[in-house]
Structure 1
Amino acid sequence: MNNTPSEDDISTLIREVGSQFQRSGADLQALQKTVQDLGEIEKVRSEMLQDARSVLQDLSRTVQLTKAKGSRKHIDVESVNHDNFMIKMDHKKFAVAQAIQDMDQSITSLEAEIHQLRMESLGLDSTRVIANGASARAGKGAPQSGTDKDDYDEDDIIDDTAHAMAVLRLQLYRGLGIEMIENDLGVYSKARIRSHNKTDVHIVKFDGQLTPYFQTNLIWEFAS
């Protein structure tokens, strides 16, 4: 029996298939909608993938920060204590420097006040000397002994004021544990510094080998 389709059968089959495509307009619209839905799904998946990458980057940064914080916890405890001690000493040094600056201002103010008082005293002494001289010339009395002794000039007052200021500064330094030492010529050539706890004694020489800034910091460090 011959099962090979004839040309008429093939033509009929083609017409039937063509008629099916012509009658399937709704199916074509459904296919287009499916393609459109697939495009939207692909877009949503791309956005989700981008969001996932952003989240992954954030997590990676969080992990790096956590590792960094964890490594800091392994820092030597003695190093941390040393840093805290140095910060505390720096604060104390600045406080002492501020106190010294305030005292210097007070000394300067007192110096001006002492100078003014001594100038007023000089004026009173001069007035008294003139009055005594006038009385002597009028025959109402004789010049008192010691008049020349009261005849001071302004240079003497300035010298006395500078000396008083120097004494105040030395007392201030001594109160901070700093003792100024003179050489054979009477010049302050070094300082003996006792630490705050009175257990250590250091000597700083003023021989010009160190800058004044470094000498000052060194003295405050020894005195702390």
Structure 2
Amino acid sequence: MESPTALIQQTIAGFQTSSDLSAIARIQDGFRDIAESRERRRDETRLALKELLRALTLEKSTYDSLVNSPSREEHASSMLAADRQKFSLAKSINDVESELQSEEAKLQRLKDELIALEQEDPSGDSSAKAAADNIAVLKLRVYRNLGIDLEEDGAGGFAKAHIRTLDNKDCQQFLGLPLVMKSANLSFGVTGILVKEFMGGLGMLITVYTYAQVKPVHETLA
């Protein structure tokens, strides 16, 4: 009886395995090609999907901008309002520039007048005289508001002083106020106020204390 090894070798020799091995190798190569092809297709599909997602995002943003953007009527209205505001600002700027030019011209004119006045009166006597006249007028106005009316004597002085209460119902008259120093103490008005003023140009000293009505408290000095 032959040995098992010899039997196996005879059996193997009876089969033609080379063709089967070649077929198996071809099948493995086919599987490998198919896997590579599928991998390439998957990569291409991923790239295409990314492109589509980017396009979708762009289209969505465009759609949102169109939805949120104003209509043509609103856009035209806003543009018209902007144009009106621009013209209004331009007009305001022109007005301000014109006013500025006018003020500059006025300032230059005043400067020229000042230079001319300084050249005419370098010593400033006229200005001092005008200031003194204004002070005298202001003092007269203050006394008139206090109820004291002065009457001129026709010679540039004041001969009479009429003193009234605030309601003009009581009147005291002081006569003989020449241009030399005279003194009269008069009371009237609101409690707590002391007005003491010396008017050298008018030639009298008036001291006003506060009581309910006007009354002389000291006679006129001769």
| TM-score of Structure 1 vs Structure 2, range by shorter chain | 0.3 to 0.5
TM-score by length of 2: 0.41
Name the one with the larger helix percent. Answer: 1
Name the one with the larger strand percent. Answer: 2
Structure whose CA Rg is larger: 2
